[in-house]
Amino acid sequence: MMLSSLVPLQLPSRMQTHLWYMLPNEVKSESLLKHYTQLLSQQEKDSIFGMQSDALKKKNALLARTLVRTTVARYQTNNNNDTVVDPRSLKFKKNLYGKPEVDGEVDTTTNYPKLKFNISHTDSLIACGVTVNVPVGIDVEDKTRKMRNDVLSLAKRFYSSEEVKFMSSIAGTEAQRKEFIKLWTLKEAYVKALGKGFSASPFNTFSIIRSEAAKNYRIQLFTLLIF
């Protein structure tokens, strides 16, 4: 994705979340990766290339930051000509709990909407969710991920009693494994949307309830009493 290819995007409505994704395996051009590197701040580059990880992890971290910058830039327009802002000019900050946010008060010459975003990635997929004025959380997991421990034992360790009961009703370890990953993805996305960190929102303090009739999920909150 070159700077010249970026075009302005219509903002999501209050009830919408725009989802953007990138497939790392499809990005193989070294010149394109070099171009992406030039879009990042020095702090981002130092963080990525200072990672004690293999080349694939560093590449995916680079692509994740690139996806955030180019996506957010397409929702931002310059006041004078309605062109997207340069992704390199964007500033980011973290809230008190470490969740990244767009710093929209840095440049008064741009018309910045109050964008919210969240990013998640695996080795095969990078995804970014964008909303306006509404918190957003996103998580992606490898659905083929294997479990070293018994699935129900892990569920009892991390999930609510209602979720454990639901998983216990599922026949077959493979079906249980898939449901465990699905619940983990939903719960992590919810916690990331809250933006207060995992320690402030333990997984066992709320339940993701599956509605068989509607074929979807809802969140049930409750207070965890510790004596």
Residues of the chain with pLDDT under 50: 105-108, 222-227
Question: So what's the pLDDT on residue 116?
Answer: 92
**pLDDT at residue 106, as a whole number:** 43
CATH architecture of the domain covering 3-132: Alpha-Beta Complex (3.90)
**What is the value of pTM for the model shown?**
0.84
Structure tokens given for 29: 């051009």
Mark 82-93 as b/e (b = at least 16 C-beta within 10 Å).
Answer: eebbebeebebe
Report pLDDT for 170: 93
> How distant, in Å, are the alpha carbons of 67, 117, 131, 190, 227 from that of 82?
21, 22, 20, 34, 58
* pLDDT one-digit tens code per residue, 143-183: 888 887 899 999 999 999 999 999 999 999 999 999 999 99
Question: CATH 3.90.470.20 in the chain, residues?
Answer: 3-132
